[in-house]
Amino acid sequence: MCQQQDLVTILKAELLRAMGEIMALKDGKSSLKEQVGQLHDQLKDKDALIRKETKKRCARCKAHMDCLVELTECQAT
């Protein structure tokens, strides 16, 4: 009978420890999900900024090319 009580006590302690680990893992998972969400938002913001800057650069490049064409036409005449 004493061995059974000892075994039950050990099993209860292990169950409590395992439940504690499960709760810690759930908390960690929740924290990681929040971090992933924040990183996803940051990535979207940076992608939007890169697209905006790329459009500006393309517009400047086009304007430069147009100026070169006009300059070449002026020099040719």
- Tell me the C-alpha distance between 21 and 13, whole Å: 12
pLDDT at residue 1 is higher than 80: no
Which tens digit of pLDDT belongs to each residue from 17-69?
999 999 999 999 999 999 999 999 999 999 999 999 999 999 999 999 999 99
The pTM of this model reads: 0.60
Which residue type occupies 7? L
Q: Note the pLDDT of residue 2.
A: 79
Q: Which helix (H) or strand (E) holds 5?
A: helix 2-76
Q: Note the pLDDT of residue 60.
A: 97
